[in-house]
Amino acid sequence: MLLGASSQQEGNTVDLRGVTDKGVVTGVEHEGALSDLVEALLDGDADLERARRRASAIMGEQKCADALTVACAFNGITRVADATGIPLDESTAAATVEMRAETAIDAFDYGNKSARLGV
Amino acid sequence: MTDLYAATDVPLRDNLREAHATSLQMIAAPGSHWTGAERVAIAEETRIAQDCPLCAERKAALSPFSVSGEHAATDTLPAAAVDAVRRLATDPGRLTRQWFESIVEVLGAPKYVELVSVANSMIIIDSQHRAAGLPPPALPAAQPGEPDGAVNEGAVDRGAWVPISAGEDTVSATGLPGVPNIVRSMGLVPGAVALFFNTFRPHYALKDIALDISQAQAEFVASRVSAHNECFY
């Protein structure tokens, strides 16, 4: 939702399926480097330094650092959402029916997890 | 104040450096429902979780609840708190309401909410250290004192697992909520909100982000992390 809205404001359109399907190009500038940074940060065994050098060469050192800064924040706040089971905001839920279907994000819905995981 | 990131050449913003140093001190101080020693122990459990064999076995299983075994209490924390932090740190996308209810039955919702804030603040700080090529910072020495017991009596049931802050459901010009539920999610314990967002705020903004990357690039990164962590919200 936020990705779609911010891209529109910047005069671009994005293919939101690329959020959950790495085979789909979203259209966000430097998305390959950004994805690699995220994966390297979240995979504890990954060579993050190598990913950072590669991304810095493509997009510059400050942008690379800033992208990782955002990733670190969401590595925390996603867990807050998961731990508190908050529902989507009403306006977001209404505006994202199609997007959630396209990206298969509904599979992560908190209401379905107990049944899916057996507790 | 100590600069936790003095040893890195990665260009980090001054407000982030200051906020993280402050957050570590906030973790070490008595909260509303946990002592300083307990809060530091919660922070430490997020690190112990990374090498926990039971957590690894649960993470590898089709359902984490199909694996037998339990986390033991420590000298400082009850078993329910240890289990909550370790699952939160290693497999957050597969927490369930039924599991949550079993934890809250022991801890109570205010303690749970404060635990979530402390653990996730520490996860952000440790993630940022990894991103800067640094080892995790030393945990602070716990400060003496008792929890103040503060609870937001105005917290409301909005369909989340815990009561959240009340607020107007305004919608901005972009169609986004004025105050998203995630901002209200820990509103049962005001100190939990203060700690978490002191840590989080320098990293991100919903609009006009004060970083060199564009808002769309920031949202792309956020979305990729959310997908990786299997976060529905």
Please determine, for residue A63, whether its predicted confidence score (pLDDT) is greater than 90: yes
B219 interaction partners in chain A (CB closer than 8 Å)? 2-3, 6-7
What pLDDT band is residue A6 in, cutting at 50, 70 and 90?
Answer: low
User: What average pLDDT does range A96-101 have in this prediction?
Assistant: 72
What average pLDDT is seen over chain A? 81
In the numeric block, the tokens 């303690």 are attached to B111
- Answer with the residue of higher pLDDT: B88 or A94: B88
pLDDT for res B174: 65
pLDDT for res B164: 95
Please determine, for residue B230, whether its predicted confidence score (pLDDT) is greater than 90: no
- Selecting from A31, A82, A109 the residue whose C-beta is nearest the C-beta of B220 gives A31
Task: Give the pLDDT confidence of B97-153 residue by residue, as tens digits.
Answer: 999 999 999 999 999 999 999 999 999 999 999 999 999 999 999 999 999 999 999
pLDDT for res B232: 78
The Cβ-side half-sphere exposure at A39, using a 13 Å CA radius, reads: 12
Query: Do the beta carbons of residue B80 and residue B72 sit within 8 Å?
Result: no
Please determine, for residue A107, whether its predicted confidence score (pLDDT) is greater than 80: no
pLDDT for res A92: 76
Query: Do the beta carbons of residue B46 and residue B52 sit within 8 Å?
Result: no
What was the ipTM of the complex prediction?
Answer: 0.95
pLDDT for res A16: 67
Please determine, for residue A4, whether its predicted confidence score (pLDDT) is greater than 70: no
Interface of A with B in 22-51 (CB under 8 A): 26, 28-31, 34-35, 37-39, 41-42, 44, 48-49
Please determine, for residue A119, whether its predicted confidence score (pLDDT) is greater than 70: no
Judged by CB atoms closer than 8 Å, whether chains meet at B217 and A68 is answered as: no
SS3 label, residue B209: coil
For the ranges A34-48, A50-64, B4-18, which has the lowest average pLDDT? A34-48
Question: What's the CA gap between B175 and A96, in Å, rounded?
Answer: 11
Query: Do the beta carbons of residue B93 and residue A108 sit within 8 Å?
Result: yes
User: What average pLDDT does range A50-58 have in this prediction?
Assistant: 94
What pLDDT band is residue A41 in, cutting at 50, 70 and 90?
Answer: very high
Judged by CB atoms closer than 8 Å, whether chains meet at A70 and B158 is answered as: no
Q: pTM of the prediction?
A: 0.91
> Residue A114, class by beta-carbon neighbours within 10 Å (0-12 exposed, 13-18 middle, 19+ buried)?
middle
Task: Give the pLDDT confidence of A71-93 residue by residue, as tens digits.
Answer: 999 999 999 999 999 988 887 77
Judged by CB atoms closer than 8 Å, whether chains meet at A92 and B176 is answered as: yes
pLDDT for res A118: 67
In the numeric block, the tokens 């209810």 are attached to B101
A70 interaction partners in chain B (CB closer than 8 Å)? 203-204, 211, 213, 218, 221-222
Could you tell me which chain A residue has the CA closest to the CA of B173?
A5
> Token pair of B218, please?
């920031």
- List Cβ neighbours of B73 (8 Å cut-off, separation of 6 or more): B79, B82
Task: Give the pLDDT confidence of B163-211 residue by residue, as tens digits.
Answer: 999 977 777 766 677 788 999 999 999 999 999 999 999 999 988 899 9
Could you tell me which chain B residue has the CA closest to the CA of A62?
B11
- Answer with the residue of higher pLDDT: B58 or A114: B58
pLDDT for res A85: 94
Task: Give the pLDDT confidence of B47-102 residue by residue, as tens digits.
Answer: 999 999 999 999 999 999 999 899 999 999 999 999 999 999 999 999 999 999 99
Please determine, for residue A1, whether its predicted confidence score (pLDDT) is greater than 60: no
Cα of A57 to nearest chain B Cα, Å: 14
